Amino acid sequence: MFLDAHGVGGAKDLPIPAEYAIAGACAALAISFTVLALAWRTPRFNVGARPTPAPRFVARIVDSAWFVALLRTLGFAFFLYVASAAIFGKDLQINPLFGVFYVLLWVGIVPLSLLFGPFYKAISPVRTLNALLAKLSGTEPGRGLRDYPARLGYWPAALGLFAFVWFELVYPFNSELWPLRLWCAIYIAIMLIGGAVFGNRFYEHADPFEVYSSLVARLSVWDRYDGELVVRSPLANLDLTPVKPGLVAVTAVLLGSTAFDSFKESSAWLNLSQGGSANANWVNFFGLTGLIVIVGVSFSAAAMATVVKKGFRRRDLPGAFAYSLMPIVVGYIIAHYLTYLVEFGQQTVIFLSDPYSTGANLLGTGDRAINYWLTYHPTFLAVIKVLGVVLGHVVAVIAAHDRAMKLLPKRHQLTGQLAMLMVMVAFTIGGLLLLFGA
């Protein structure tokens, strides 16, 4: 009976109450203009002083060879365990691959990177495979045959992220085993070829999961300065996000796809995608792509709607500001997927005990029950969601403000920010509307 049932549950949270959405929207609006009117007039982040070194014992552990090897081994062992479920497991809803892929990996990336920094880089199975292959062939894993072309920037990761969200949100057979196996196989193959050609620089720019994790990690307190482990305020850390081509595309894919995930459940969209004679998959494909394009284009237009300093190109502005969308992305993801992560995450841990669907209880988690506390407390959940979205918005507005102080000519520092502010407010209110009305 499980054969054709969905691997990923379609259950969603109750809409947030209208008052909460309105209160959140008003708070976002008020805070935005307060920041614009009252905040500092000279750039504040990362000007001058050295950052604080991390506590000595933390640095000693994190920098030690055994710790690096341990993380790599644990990550790779987990990868092999799940890969064996993918290869030898059955095409059933209880195959843990689905939950690991859609929930633990995709949604789990956000809290883990917020807490621990760029964790995917530390455990990345494709980096480990690349290192093993390099060892076998006697080459250096960090260096490939060629230099990674700088003008590609994050574009390959943006494509990879799009391939993920398309698979998750549009592709109709995403809950069957063979397409998911194929997706993962293609991902691993591209990563290994890219790693062999361009070395580790490839993973920094082209591995969708590593790029996602490392960008979110910019909102953590951890960073390195001259190789030393340091702690910074998340705002100062965020400010150091490397500006590279494709960053706007990455943030647009993340934000647009999350919005589409809510939007596609609405009655209006269901009527449109299912009612007409058009193929629902194409309608959904265009819906997803459309939202991503709207996010990317409106953000870029707003970033460029200002006077620029002499010698500065206007079209460099979207890229220079793109990092400030990441907090909005993180707030959105938390609001949209918190229950999913907590409840389906527990379900996945239960399923992990039985990787081949034989009734085994390998990890001893097989007979655990799911705690549905969050589902039973919709008001608490609604508060968390609104706080997540509004907090993300505030951090984004502050980040964009500080960057404007750095990049815009003195006379236009305030008016130059207005368009950007309005777009961010629109994204936030749009997000709250989706939480309220979808």
Task: Catalog residues that contact other proteins under the rule CB under 8 A.
Answer: 1, 4-6, 9-15, 17-20, 22, 25-26, 29-30, 32-34, 36-38, 41, 172, 265, 267, 269-271, 274-275, 280, 343, 372, 375-379, 382, 414
Q: State which residue, 234 or 378, has the beta carbon closest to other proteins.
A: 378
CB of 401 to other proteins, least distance (A): 12
Of the pair 4, 226, the CB lying nearest other proteins is at 4
Q: Is 65 exposed, middle or buried (0-12, 13-18, 19+ CB in 10 A)?
A: exposed
* Amino acid letter, residue 18: A
* Closer Cβ to other proteins, 1 or 49, answer by number: 1
| Nearer Cβ to other proteins (299/344) | 344
Q: How far is the CB of 195 from other proteins (least distance, A)?
A: 38
CA separation for the pair 170, 178 (Å, rounded): 16
CB of 380 to other proteins, least distance (A): 9
> The tokens of 99 are what?
């939950």
What backbone phi and psi angles, to 5 degrees, belong to 223?
-160, 175
Q: Token pair of 232, please? A: 């910074």
Instruction: Supply φ then ψ for residue 305, to 5 degrees.
Output: -80, 60
Contact (Cβ atoms closer than 8 angstroms) between residue 16 and residue 436? yes
12 vs 314, which CB is nearer to other proteins?
Answer: 12
Q: Residue 151: how many CB atoms within 10 A of its CB?
A: 8
Residue 35 C-beta: closest distance to other proteins, Å: 10
Please tell me the total number of residues recorded for the chain in this structure. Answer: 438
Q: Do residues 428 and 393 lie in contact, with contact meaning Cβ atoms separated by under 8 Å?
A: yes
C-beta of 52 vs 271, nearer to other proteins = 271
What minimum distance in Å lies between the beta carbon of 154 and other proteins?
34
Structure tokens at 365: 């988690």
- Other beta carbons within 10 Å of 267: 9
